[in-house]
Chains A and B, each alone.
Chain A
Amino acid sequence: MADAASGSTDRSVQVKLVLLGEAAVGKSSVVLRFVSNEFQANKEPTIGAAFLTQKCRLEDRVLRYEIWDTAGQERFHSLAPMYYRNAQAAVVVYDVTKASSLEKAKTWVKELQRQANPNIVIALAGNKIDLVQPSSSSSSTPSSPEPEDEADDATATPGENAGDGEGESLRQVPREEAEAYAQEAGLLFFETSAKTGEGIVEIFTEIAKKIPIDQILASSRGGANRAGAAGGRAAGQEGGVNLDENAGKGKDACNC
């Protein structure tokens, strides 16, 4: 990225965004869809976090997303603070066919709200809706899912060809439930499919609208040292590289 240094002259704004969520909910697929508009079944596994960038136009401005796609395995959880520190945005992903993944998403939201940059914009994304949608030809199924549907087929494995009419029964997380939660917690909310591309770009454009761009621009123009640029973080820290989630925060951070 040779143009990285000259970033302050053009109108592009750099936004650090982190993806969090349970393993295999489709974080990497969402990013891949957004960055290169493709869907692949087998990809590189994510060790620690994968790093990608993508530009995004918003009215007259260009946002340059620096995306950190984190590993989802539970034991990597303690490494996450390393990636979400200084982030201006986060996408917390769950899988609409797996109820437990929403629970995990909630714990991520809680953690972000308490440990991350206080102005962080968080979006909740229920992924894999292609699995719970009727096949495109027959749109007879009512669009609002019945909560009762989640009960029995919970153990069925979400298959690639599950879209044929039966789709809705794979759903374990009703849209209303997740949406209500998102509203209550102050999150942007989307249902997405990395496979079909539905809802993916929207996440990133909505986030872009909500981010205080002028604030970022103002502070990055302010001086060469950008350490304080990211949403009012205290500049400088003593420990240098620090995996502790408190690294960039003041003393009050220990209150969870």
Chain B
Amino acid sequence: MATISTQLRNFKEPTKEQLTQLFFSLPPEPLYNGDPSTPDKGMGELEKMEISAMLTVSGEEPCTGKLYLIPPYLAFASLDRKSVRFTIPLCTIRKVERLSARAGVYALGLSLWHQMKIIVQLTALRPTADLFCSLLRDALKSELQRGQMKAVKGFVNTCYSEVMVSLDDSKDGPATKSDEHTESMYLGGLGLKFKFPGDPKKLREASKTKLWISYLKTHGRNLTLLRFPQCTRLVQVGLPNRLRGEMWETLSGSVYLRFANPGEYERILEQNKGRTSTSTEEIEKDLHRSLPEYSAYQSDVGIAALRRVLQAYSFKNPETGYCQAMNILAAAILIYMSEEQAFWLLEVICDRLLPGYYSTSMHGTLLDQRVFESLVHRCLPVIHDHFQQVDVQLSVASLPWFLSLFINSMPMVFAFRIIDCFFCMGPKVLFQVASDNTAILKINGEKLLQIQDDGGFIHLMREYFASLGDSAHPDSPDPRARAITRFQELLLVSFREFAVITDDTILSERRKFRSEVVHSIESFSKRSAIRNLKTLERFNKDQAGLIYDALFKAICIIPPPAVSLPPPTLLTTKEATEERPETRIELRTFKVFLSEICTWARTEKVVSNGFQQRVDREVADHELIDRLFYFWDTAYRGALSFQDLVSGLDGVMFNDLMENIEWFFNLHDKNKDGFLSKDEVLTLCESLLFIFRFEIGDAYLGAVSRFMSNAFEYGDALLPAKEGPNGEEELPQIESNQPYINLATFRMVVLADEILESFFETDFSATFKLEPVPMMEIPNSNNGILGGLWSNIASDDNRKIFHKFTDEIGKSIGKHQILYRPAIGKFTTLEEPKARESLLTPTMRRSASKASLSATDSSTSISVATSQLSQLNVDLDASTTSLPSSIFSPVPPMLQAANAVAFMERTPFAIDDAKDDDEESEDGSEFEDGVMDEVDAFIEAHDTGLTEAERELAKDLINAEPVK
């Protein structure tokens, strides 16, 4: 019952381009092109470009940074990559104008949907700026052709922010009747009907909403949101309930997926209607235990929505399917957003934000726990040391924090605020908050020492989470300080003191521990696979391990087909899901597997070319191997499991002479009637010839020849003589596919020959060898996999290039030589060739020539050699320079910062003006103060890096006229 997964080996470090896309939360490209309604011309050809630019928006400080054209998006990030940024679909750009300003200034005015105007000054050389403009024009044109411009209006109407802003407008101006009409369009979550968790008054919903309205009016919204520092701060004090779902979508970038794939969610559900799978069954089990305390999940409405979203995800991503904890996430986000929105957000969480967390190996989870532990080690050495001493594992508490985004760990309203920040600021938020949770142990040394085991740690954390709503400073004389909750402080301190934990830190830590984690997962599954074998047969565990290794390698090279879902019409098969998933390999993979273990199942060429001598190994191909595959497939599945392979090998590796003869007989007795037909005798000879194909000398050839004539002689002699119709004996006649000789006869014939006898006595079993599989040689086309561990692969590629290179030279100087290594290798000297008699049937001749054919394979013509030479040189260079790319994180500065944090004391954060914290009054002028205080607390100094002159220029630009 083993599933053997090599998916961890396929990991590729993201390229720089992918990192940029990740940063701007852009959907992966194939999805975008895969839209069936648009022919996928265009986007592929459109070029990407980045350029230095200064962004000016009225009401904000101008900001220098970089502008990225990544069709169909335009994106911007300030130099510090965090204070200012935006990602907007090109189709929301309504007009682009070159602005006339001072000489030498190249500025564009972009009018966006939502009546917004932004100005970007391209601070690059003129030709570069011109190029950027022309690329931008092409990209815009293509969007126009795709009809995307028209899609904006309808899409935007599904967003609550539109309603919010227009309601507010109508409050100021004359009331418009269209309000109700638009209101009915927007998408929302279960909370609209079943109430949102938490007390709206306590959450200060009204103040927050007001602040957001004013921000969204001037900085765009949904598709066109511009993110300035105020945006992040407003997120940090908590999103208002009604806006929350949409902001999650916008901040995480799942809105772009929904925009690019209209109707996809419904389509997936429609296409898979009625389908059941392991995932759907697992989902059913968990539907009623996903936030059961929330009223919507006590009703069919909520349960049905949850079911559809989880099922749709599992249909779209069959490899991941469904993982416990996803039910909690989905249930949580469905409170704030519609099913379709939740579906895409779940996709972004599982795919991009928490990669590998919910996969079948959960490697992402394990990796991030390892990363978290290492961060605690650096940032909170005292705690780490104590835990180490009393043998407490952080993960017992922290695992659910990461897996379900704190939702089940702390009161829901607080968890949602962490999630707000998570979507806005990325996964590092989880690490920061988790570190700070752990850090609370530091302030209270007594509590830390109380922790003597895992259970104690959990208890303390629970106690702390339960108290998050309490005042952080209950004894403070200042009433406003008293009003600060522990939760508020938790967030503030997390972001302030653990600012050293950045996206880059996490990326590099993940890189550092990935191979370690992959290794431990793989060795864990190896041990389980061996432990769970029904029988080890006569092998010991180490030998079974070697068989596993060969199997694993084969799977790496030729992956078995994905476990496919049954077609939707054949549903309700209870048995199909009862069976545990088990990795089974097909014939193609089996060939690779066998070539690892069995000498005649591979072709080994000893190549010498004057520079070196090496052994090239190829997987052999012959009917005998296919036959063996089906012989071992005792359950007729067309695929072999680990157990099948172990049992199969057991059947051949421990045999003595008689058993080997019988085994070989049975292998060729296709219909298992205890007889070989004439055809089968011929096939058996072919098999022998295949095994002997590289043996030196003609001894084996002679043996097979004698075997065959003897077999037919005895066979004919033993046929029962039939009475002819006239009473006289007839010559026995028999069809070539009729039962012909039995095991006893076969044995006799084999034993009549000395060479065959010794072959079956010892040599044959010895062609199966369990040896350590050199895992590093896994051929893989991807470069730079898994940093440290897999850097060998890069050098493996290099080796191939080198081999090719030296071979070519060897050929040109006449020193290139290939010898085939024999499978048995008993006879090392050439014997006198014996007369070949008439033993080769036409089919045999074919197979014999096949073997000799491959010898000519590699002798490419010499004339090309020189021209390839120079090119190979280049290749070689390129790959050597790319070698030391497995960089490790620069530890020293990080350590310094971490130590600094470790010694920092937790100071209550400053409150500027102390006032009484009265109940909020809706019409009071200072009603926003409470929120604003909190907002202010999150203000971080950020340097726009602008000179006075640049500021002046920016002012000019805002008022500049378009050219002509």
Contacts and interface: CB of A to CB of B under 8 A. Distances in A.
Interface of A: 1, 4-5, 14, 16, 23-24, 41-49, 51, 53, 66, 71, 73-79, 81-83, 85-86, 100, 103, 107, 110-111, 114, 155, 225-227, 235-237, 240-245, 248, 254-256
A45 B292 CA distance: 10
A189 to B, nearest CB: 22
B404 interface: yes
Nearest to B460: A1
Given A76-B324, A86-B391, A243 B366 contact: yes
A78 B369 CA distance: 13
B290 interface: yes
Nearest to A255: B541
Nearest to B358: A75
9 contacts: A4-B452, A23-B285, A44-B292, A48-B395, A77-B528, A78-B361, A83-B396, A226-B453, A236-B391
A85 to B, nearest CB: 8
Interface in B605-622: none
Given A48-B400, A66-B455, A23 B282 contact: yes
A51 B400 CA distance: 12
Contact of B394 (A53, A85, A241): A241
B363 to A, nearest CB: 9
B496 interface: no
A225 B282 contact: no
Given A75-B362, A111-B528, A243 B453 contact: no
A240 B324 contact: no
Residue among B377, B394, B458 facing the most chain A CB atoms (10 A cut-off)? B458
B324 A45 contact: yes
A4 B396 contact: no
A111 B531 contact: yes
Interface stretch (B108-116, B169-177, B381-389): B381-389
Contacts of B878: none
A73 B282 contact: yes
A235 B395 CA distance: 19
A82 B525 CA distance: 15
B369 A71 contact: no
B288 A42 contact: yes
Nearest to B372: A241
Contact of B393 (A45, A46, A66, A82): A82
A79 B324 CA distance: 13
B531 A42 contact: no
Interface residues of B, number: 62
Contacts of B285: 23-24
A240 B524 contact: no
B524 A245 contact: yes
B674 interface: no
B183 to A, nearest CB: 34
Contact of A47 (B325, B370, B389, B459): B325
> Which 6 A-B residue pairings sit nearest by Cβ, starting from the closest?
A48-B399, A66-B455, A241-B373, A47-B400, A244-B520, A45-B289
A66 B288 CA distance: 27
A77 B328 CA distance: 19
A173 B449 CA distance: 48
A110 B373 contact: no
Nearest to B529: A256
Contact of A78 (B366, B404, B532): B366
A66 to B, nearest CB: 4
B521 interface: yes
Contact of A45 (B290, B388, B396, B455): B290
Given A5-B452, A47-B328, A256-B531, A240 B387 contact: yes
B450 A225 contact: no
A226 B452 contact: yes
A66 B400 CA distance: 18
Contacts of A83: 396
Nearest to A4: B456
A79 B399 contact: yes
Contacts of A244: 520, 523-524
B286 A45 contact: yes
A240 B388 contact: yes
B328 A241 contact: no
Contacts of B292: 42-44
Nearest to A7: B452
Nearest to B578: A100
B927 to A, nearest CB: 38
Given A44-B408, A48-B400, A227-B391, A243 B520 contact: yes
A79 B365 CA distance: 10
Contacts of A155: 574
Contact of B360 (A42, A44, A75, A243): A75
Contacts of B361: 75, 78
Nearest to B459: A1
B89 to A, nearest CB: 36
A5 B450 contact: yes
Contacts of A79: 362, 365-366, 399
B752 interface: no
B470 to A, nearest CB: 17
Given A44-B289, A51-B455, A225-B389, A240 B377 contact: yes
A240 B459 contact: no
Contacts of A225: 389-390
Nearest to A71: B324
B327 interface: yes
Contacts of A77: 528
B637 interface: no
Contacts of B530: 256
B580 interface: yes
A47 B408 contact: yes
B356 to A, nearest CB: 11
A245 B527 CA distance: 10
B1 interface: yes
B366 A47 contact: no
A241 B290 contact: no
Contacts of A74: 360, 580-581
A12 B403 CA distance: 34
Contacts of A114: 531
A95 to B, nearest CB: 12
A248 B391 CA distance: 9
B960 interface: no
B327 A45 contact: yes
A49 B290 CA distance: 16
Given A78-B366, A79-B365, A227-B391, 15 more contacts: A16-B453, A23-B282, A42-B288, A42-B292, A45-B286, A45-B290, A66-B453, A66-B455, A73-B282, A75-B360, A227-B390, A243-B366, A243-B369, A243-B370, A245-B524
